[in-house]
Structure 1
Amino acid sequence: MSALLGVSSPVLAAPMAGGPSTPSLVLAAARAGSLGFLAAGYRTAADLAAQLDQVRGAFGVNVFAPNPVPVDPEAFRRYARELQPEADAFGLDLAGAAPVENDDDWAAKIDLLLARPVPVVSFTFALPPAATVAALRRAGTVVLQTVTSTVEARAAALVGVDGLIVQSCAAGAHSGTFTPAELPADRELADVVRAVGAVVDLPLIAAGGIGTPADVTAALAAGAQHVMVGTALLRTDESGAGAVHRAALAAGAGETVLTRAFSGRPARALRNGFVDRHHASAPSGYPAVHHLTTPLRRAAAQAGDADRVNLWAGTGFRHARSGPAAAALDHLAGEA
């Protein structure tokens, strides 16, 4: 698979939507013999095109495949009212917000990636149509799919992807599960990799909770050809993670939890006050809940308020290192 991806390192840099993945991080990964991804999620096609102008060499683009979970209107209104006291601190009106349901500019992004082919495209949240996979492959693009179970792996193989990113529930930020109304199964990454490898004949990339060289070794021993890390790179020089997020990771305290509180879709974050107050009552509904809480999360980050920010982190967050991204990748690969 290294030849397919054009890399020499077994450790790849995961896409992290919302700011952490930057062109600088992608370029740093390439310099380390790795592969980094531009995160197309939450960006318009035009924004993605501007980032494409800034990268070269071996790199990928990650796209959210539409998998809407329409929110129940009454549940949305109730949650919006519940969050209003949080928003009052920043002068925001959430109680009057209407649900926003969209597909993250899906069609325009696919058109862009067909018009300007890139080395690798990965999909998460759902499967793209087989025709889209075939068109990308004809354009010379390697197509990867994030899966979290054997059922998803079999489905991905049927649409013709080149390889699978096998993600465990230990991964930071959103789970790639195709069934977001359910929390992902609590299974060790190595177990998921072995299970997927037993049912499909495709190259595998392991992701979720990897923070040490020993974690890398274990995933490779389970049958993965590469591993993918995200949280491990959040504190690096090239990361676009904000100051509040970096400080929380550097503190190394607390625990991570899977929660729908921030977006209506299962995602792993450092436990904070927002999670404690709203985890139990948050409705399932993506992207409507994501759009509801975005202004609050943005205002809290700008104010340095870690209590109301989505501090995405995998279970290996205590091993995240500051410094150059290339050094962090080399360390995990056992080269430093």
Structure 2
Amino acid sequence: MWYQTKASEMLGIEYPVLQGPFGGNLSSVELVSTVSNAGGLGGYGAYTLSPQEIIQIDQQIKAATNKPYNINLWVSDTDMQEDTLSDERFKQVRTLFKPYFDELGIPLPEKPPPFKSRFENQADVILHQKPPVFSFMFGIPSADILEQCHRLGIVTIGAATTLDEAIALESAGVDLIIASGFEAGGHRPSFLASAESSTIGTFALIQLIREKVKIPVIAAGGIANGKGVAAALALGADAVQIGTAFLACEESNATAIHKQMLFSEAARHTTLSRSFTGRLGRGIANRIAEELMYTENGFLPFPLQTQFMSHLRKEAIAQEKWDMIYFWGGQIAPVLKHTKAADLMKSIQEETTDYFDQQKK
């Protein structure tokens, strides 16, 4: 059967369908457990959480499902080149964004404090809690962390946006690779070259990686139904990761307006922007992303830009200025149909099975 792949065997799941692990408080225990209980692999994006919060989430997931699940972290969680942000650079950013804060009638925020990476402490929690699967983005964990994962029986998954990144992940001893195409919603997890120069489509990337890499490949980006799953498998993927379609389900922790936007006409137009976090990511096109498209060097480094823009986001939500909020979403959003994760999983299973049954006739 189509669902009996090397990836599903390694991950201990019935269907080779992974739910994208959403960061920024968009993940939920309910969504993770629903997908895992339906035979897929639920995923929780934990890069913004403290070690204690990760422990609590892991315990809640374990209580909600006895099936495999995934916790995701960012290896590189800051773009700060120095310990401090210069007053001059912060002044330039304040000037650039002042019209939007003025429009909302709120003061510009003060300069954010320096950010220290939390990844090492977060990774210690992963090794202690031992989730069945540990996935990561924006780099490769140390050889010591990967060795401990293997010793503890934790399956590791790394994200690649280029062939070079996939080769690096395989060389490091990672178990599976996510081929993250530029169609995908959310941040571009590039780590060897700039995200802007690493914009390969999912179906091209699968084939490039499959030619040179022996470990299983998981296709991500532009997949939301059984036809997409069948296409990815036909091109050599061992599994798929689906983000936007699960983000739109009622079990995710996205706001009601975010889910509404993913089903709206606005979702036909997405764009890549650094305006809201300092890192390149895909969301539904809005006024700020479009107006600041050619001022990408004028933003704060990640995650300071996120902290800076959180003030604007909060007030824009309060005033319902939706054209000032960046709603994460992928290019596939216009084909979304399901609002319940269990229904989405069932539809994917049935559509993929029907497709491959038709090929036999």
TM-score (norm 2): 0.87
Aligned match of 1:5: 11
Distance in 2 of aligned mates of 1:76 and 1:184: 26
Aligned to 1:193, which of 202, 206, 222? 206
The superposition leaves residues 292-318 of structure 1 with CA deviations (integer Å, 9 ceiling, x where unpaired) of 212222332344321121211111011
Question: Which amino acid in 2 is paired with 1:34?
Answer: G
- Secondary structure at the counterpart of residue 48 of structure 1: helix
Within 5 A, what are the aligned runs for 1:1-336? Answer: 1-56=7-62, 57-66=67-76, 68-70=78-80, 73=86, 74-90=88-104, 92-94=106-108, 96-98=110-112, 100-103=114-117, 105-179=118-192, 181-253=194-266, 254-283=268-297, 285-335=301-351
Query: Which stretch shows the higher mean deviation, 128-137 or 72-81?
Result: 72-81
CA RMSD between the two structures:
2.0
- Distance, in Å, in 1 between the alignment partners of 2:12 and 2:149 is 17
CA deviations over 1:254-295 (Å, ceiling 9, x no partner): 411111111111100110112122222133622222222122
The unaligned stretches of length 5 or more in structure 1 are none
Task: Describe the superposition over 1:193-218 as per-residue Cα deviations: whole angstroms up to 9, x where unpaired.
Answer: 11011111111111012123222111
Assess, with a 3 A threshold, how the Cα gap between structure 1 residues 38 and 143 changes in structure 2: closer, same or farther: same
**Aligned-partner residue type, residue 14 of structure 2:** S
Please identify which structure carries the higher helix content. 2
Question: Distance in 1 between the 2:58 and 2:318 partners?
Answer: 27
Instruction: Answer yes or no: is the 8 Å Cα contact 2:175–2:215 preserved in 1.
Output: yes
Aligned-partner Cα distance in 2 for 1:67–1:39: 13
- State how far apart, in whole Å, the 2-side matches of 1:181 and 1:70 are: 15
Contact persistence 2:77–2:119 (CA under 8 A): no
On the 8 A contact 2:109/2:311 being kept in 1, the answer is no
SS at match of 1:54: helix
160-169 or 185-194: which moved more?
Answer: 185-194
Q: Secondary structure at the match of 1:55?
A: helix
**Higher alpha-carbon deviation: 145-154 or 204-213:** 204-213
1:80 deviation in Å? 2.5
Per mean C-alpha deviation after superposition, the further-off stretch among 81-90 and 106-115 is 81-90
Amino acid of the structure 2 residue aligned with 1:59: Y
Shift of 1:331: 1.6
Q: Which moved more, 1:13-22 or 1:61-70?
A: 61-70
Structure-2 separation of matches of 1:100 and 1:229: 34
Q: Which has the larger radius of gyration?
A: 2
Structure 1 residue ranges, 4+ long, deviating more than 6 angstroms after superposition: none
Work out the number of aligned pairs and report it.
335
> Could you tell me whether the CA contact under 8 Å between 1:237 and 1:322 is conserved in 2?
no
Give the secondary structure class of the aligned counterpart of 2:350.
Answer: coil
The 10-residue stretch of structure 1 (73-82 or 191-200) with the greater mean CA deviation from structure 2:
73-82
Matched to 2:296, the amino acid is A
| Contact 2:47/2:73 (<8 A) preserved | yes
Contact residue 34 and residue 342 of structure 2 kept, 8 A: yes
Specify the SS of the correspondent of 1:53. Answer: helix
Counterpart of 2:288, as a letter, is F
- In 2, the alpha carbon distance for the partners of 1:333 and 1:148 equals 27
| 1:13 shift after superposition | 0.4
Distance in 1, matches of 2:172 and 2:329, equals 31
Query: 2: CA distance between counterparts of 1:114 and 1:165?
Result: 21
CA distance in structure 1 between the aligned counterparts of 2:173 and 2:90, rounded to whole angstroms? 37
3-state SS of paired residue (2:157): strand
Deviation of 1:67 after TM superposition, in Å, equals 5.5
TM-score (norm 1): 0.93
User: Secondary structure, in 3 states, of the residue corresponding to 1:205?
Assistant: strand
Paired residue for 2:3? none
Query: Which residue does the alignment assign to 2:359?
Result: none
SS of match in other structure, 2:219:
strand
Q: Could you tell me how far apart the structure 2 residues matched to 1:95 and 1:52 are?
A: 34
Does 241-250 or 83-92 show the bigger shift?
A: 83-92
How far apart are residue 179 of structure 1 and its match? 4.5
1:57-80 Cα shifts (integer Å, max 9, x gaps): 210100011264337744443122
Q: Tell me if the contact between 1:268 and 1:312 (Cα under 8 Å) persists in the aligned partners.
A: yes
